[in-house]
Every structure is written in C-alpha cells, then in structure tokens.
Chain A
C-alpha cells in the first residue's frame, strides 16, 4: 500500500506534471482551434524554450526569471517567423479546406525534423540540464518540497491564468476566439485573419517555450526532448476535445495523475499504456473528447 507520505509526494509530482502539460496542451489546442493545424512540431518549440533558458541561465548567468522571460519572448518571435514563412504561403495557395489539415500535418512534421536537427547541429546531442533555478526546499508535514518545482508550478498557473484572462477580456483575445468559432464571420466584422493566425501561432510557441524553460531542472535540454510532451499534450487535447481550451487543466491533471500513479504501481514504461487505453476508450464512446466542445470553426475532416 502507498503510505501517506509517498502519496503526498506522488500527488505533488503529478501536479508539477499537470502544469507542464497544461502549458503545452493549451498552445496545441489553440493552434488547432484557430488555424486548423495539427501541430506535430509543438514539442520542438518546447525544446527550444529549454535551450534558450539553459544558455541564458547557465551560460550567460542571467537571473532565472529573466531566463524564462527571454525564452518566452524568443519563443514568441520564433513562432511568428515560422507562421509567416511556412503557414502563411501555404494558406495563400490552398483553397480546399479538407486538404489543408492533412497538408499542414506534413508541414509540421518537416518543421519538427528541421528544428530538431538545427538545434542538434548547433548544440550537439549533449544533455544540458541545471540542478535548480532556486535552491532550497520546504518541509510541510514531513514532506519535502523543492522551491524550484513549486515556483515552476506557480509560473505555469500564473501564465495559464493570464492567458485565459487575455482570451476572455481583451479585444485581441476576443478576436482570436471569434476566428476559432467562425472564420468568415470574423472576416466580416473586420478582423484581419492573417494577423490573428500569426499571433496565435506565436502565442502558442511562447507557451510551449515557457513550459520548456520553467521546468528545466526536471527535464534537461536535449534535441529530442520534445517527444514526450508532444505525446502527452496530444493525449490531453484529445481527451478533453480539440479546441476546448477551458477544460485543459482538468485533462492535464487526469493524464498526469494516471501516468504518475501507474508509473509508481506497475513500473515506469507501462504508464503510457494506461493513459492510451483510457483515451482510446473515451474516443470510442465520445468521438469529440470528454467535454466534447462545439467549437464550430474546428473542421472535422
């Protein structure tokens, strides 16, 4: 049986993981909701965030928060560049929406190859990790919690909350949501779709980049580190329904709880099978995900 103490530390680990998944899955879901791009290169954006942070924190000795902020800013810029140079021309050239999703799918696959190998050519295959941004730990009721992870979760929570408020309250956020719901309608009321698409991709890259940067002590930077978060964010996004952003934290918590406890009780390696089995069963009975969003703009095909 699991003792009270290890139960608490497992829960804590699951929450840290959930924070990471929420950040990456939100961006993934947003891109699909607004642009209908199933992004396979999302893990690479996360990886680049980690590299920016490790170079600015361990290389340039910048303070931790500055390093994470830098990762956010550069991630945003990189996202904007990627959108403008790859997806913008593709959108100009493709007329049929049905082909669009499957074509962009391969474009993101190419993008993933491109970014992964570009980083590998520059930085090599070495693992570049840090021990922690912030030293020290807290001891609450016999459970030790490292400050580093606590701050990591706090950053994730603050960013997700701020992002949610941005989508709900600001004019630009409303424009993004409007585009996700009905592209033609958004165009009619005078929203510049090109700008919205670029902004959406940039924001989503920024979220992934922040995730990579703020949990650097947990996952050291290396070129193929993006694969695991990519899998997990797809699990989360499919679980709650593509394009449904509000329910992502719940889905992230479900997936991370399953993974953490399955890894503890049946040994690591098998844990992925549990979340996979769960998602396959859910998809069978609820093809649009657990909380089946009715975001109209999300094309089905």
Chain B
C-alpha cells in the first residue's frame, strides 16, 4: 500500500484535465461558431457533474443514483427565487448550491447505515421522490409545463456563458482535486475500500460519508443553477433517472477515482453523440454497447488507460 502511494506520488504525471481546462480558456478567442460553443458548454457542464459524481462513487464507493435530482433541485431553487422573488441569478445559483448541499447532507444521513446497492437505491428513491414533488406541485413549479427562468445575460452570444461554466468547472476541478489529494481524500478512499478497517484506524465514517455527499451535491446544485439560467426553462425532466445515467456513464468510462477522467470523457462523448444525432436509435445502441464493452474489457476507464500508458512511457 505504501509502496503504491510512493509510486503514485513520485510519478507526478501531467494531469490531462488540467491541460484540457487550460486549452479551453482560449477557445472563444478563436472559435465564434455558436454551435461549437454550445457543444463545449454541454461538455463542460456534464463533465463537471460527472467529476462531482466521481467524487462519491470513486472515493467512498457509493453510487448516488439520485444525482440528477440534486442538480435539478439547485436549478429549481435558483429559478424559483429569480421568477417569484426577482432575486438575481448570480445570487440564486449560490442559493441553489446551498439548498442542494443541505439535501445532500440529509440524503447522506439517510444512506449512512446502508451499503453498496442499498445506498444507491436509497439515493435513487429520494431522487425519485424529489422529482415526483416537482412534477406534481404544479401551482409552485408549474410541473411539466416548464418553469421560465431569467437568463444570465441579455445576449444571444454563447461566449459569456462559456466563461461562466468554465469558471465553475475550474473551481470544481481544483476543489475536488485538492480534497481528494488531502488527508480527507485518503479517509474517503479508506472508507470506500473497507469501512470496518477505516473505523478501526480511527476514521469516523459517519462524518466523512456525509461530508462527501454534501460536497458532491453542492457542486451539482451550483451547476443546476447555471443550467437554469442558461437554458431559460426548467422541466422535471432534468431530474430524470436517465440524466443520472448519462452522468454516471461519463464517470465510469472516464475512470472512477481520478476526478479528471470523467471531464475528459465528457469532451469525447458529448460531441460524438451530438454529431451522431442523425443516426437516431442506432446512436444509443452504439452507446449502450460501448458502456458494456468498457465495463467488461476495461473497467478502469480512460484514466486507467492513461496511467498505464504513462507508466510505459516512463519505464
């Protein structure tokens, strides 16, 4: 174990997520095509969500299968504040962050006694419950009719939105990476690998599991707020299980426990899936096969592939 840690520390490999984010900062200077900008915004949005998802599944080994509901909750909080009380979106997104964090804290408490699939199912059921409330409380959220939400900017240009989501992505990336590389991250991993052993070594799983859930859902809530004021209309569909699946697939294919892997995976999958749109169903059939194939043949995903290649280059 220590040997592995030494190895990991000494191999200071170039983090592809960092490189990607650095390049992206200059993209709008060269590209003004709105369609491509939109694609990049989607990729950043889902990539960041997948990083936050990975923060839970790759570290404490709990699948937050209700993840999309936290995202949606953040979006709805911000959109409701803006449309009912006229609160500025710039303040609303932080209210969304806070609300989702509180929800995540509560769900973290709910799933405490549960392990593996039971915890995943519990998070899923809570998410379904939230979605059910948003769908049916039509007098408040307008349900499936959609809630109008004011935009961040008055312009049709996607450039400013790109920088907003880029800042959020960079912030999340460094925050998650810093925590993951700190002592706390080590405790998370210890709990994920063997909770009993972690307990025996003096790590309090209760506190760290709840903390992990809170951080992950807070980021989801922040991006939910961004989405609300970027798209301009929210329907309960944002909380659908299929949204969670999309995020989860990015996290798995990117490689669990790496933080950067899911981000890179998003920049691969989202453009490809968008450009394959004309293929209709075939597109999702291929997607399904890719997911199955990765899990059978290379469950470590992109980050494990990269690490292996890096080790080979160094050797």
Q: Which residues of A contact B (CB under 8 A)?
A: 32, 38, 86, 89-90, 93-94, 98-99, 101-107, 109-114, 116-118, 120-121, 227, 231, 234-235, 238, 242, 267, 269-270, 272-273, 276-277, 279-280, 283-284, 287-288, 299-301
Contact = CB atoms under 8 A, between A and B. Distances in A.
A86 B63 contact: no
Contact of B116 (A101, A234, A273, A280): A101
A272 B130 CA distance: 11
Contacts of A270: 132, 136
Main secondary structure of the interface of B (DSSP, over half): helix
Contact of B248 (A86, A93, A109): A109
Contacts of A117: 281-285, 288
Contacts of A234: 121, 124
A272 B248 contact: no
Interface string B82-125: 00000000000000000000000000001001111110111011
A102 B192 CA distance: 13
A227 B131 CA distance: 15
Given A110-B292, A231-B128, A300-B115, A118 B281 contact: yes
Interface string B112-151: 0111111011101110110011011000000000000000
Q: Max chain A CB contacts within 10 Å: which of B63, B110, B129, B281?
A: B281
Nearest to A112: B288
Nearest to B293: A110
Nearest to B107: A280
Interface of B: 57, 61, 63, 110, 113-118, 120-122, 124-126, 128-129, 132-133, 135-136, 241, 245, 248-249, 252, 280-285, 287-292, 295-297, 299
Given A287-B113, A301-B61, 13 more contacts: A90-B295, A102-B116, A107-B291, A110-B287, A117-B284, A118-B285, A121-B282, A276-B125, A283-B110, A283-B118, A283-B122, A283-B125, A300-B116
B130 to A, nearest CB: 10
Nearest to A299: B116
A102 B296 contact: no
B280 A280 contact: no
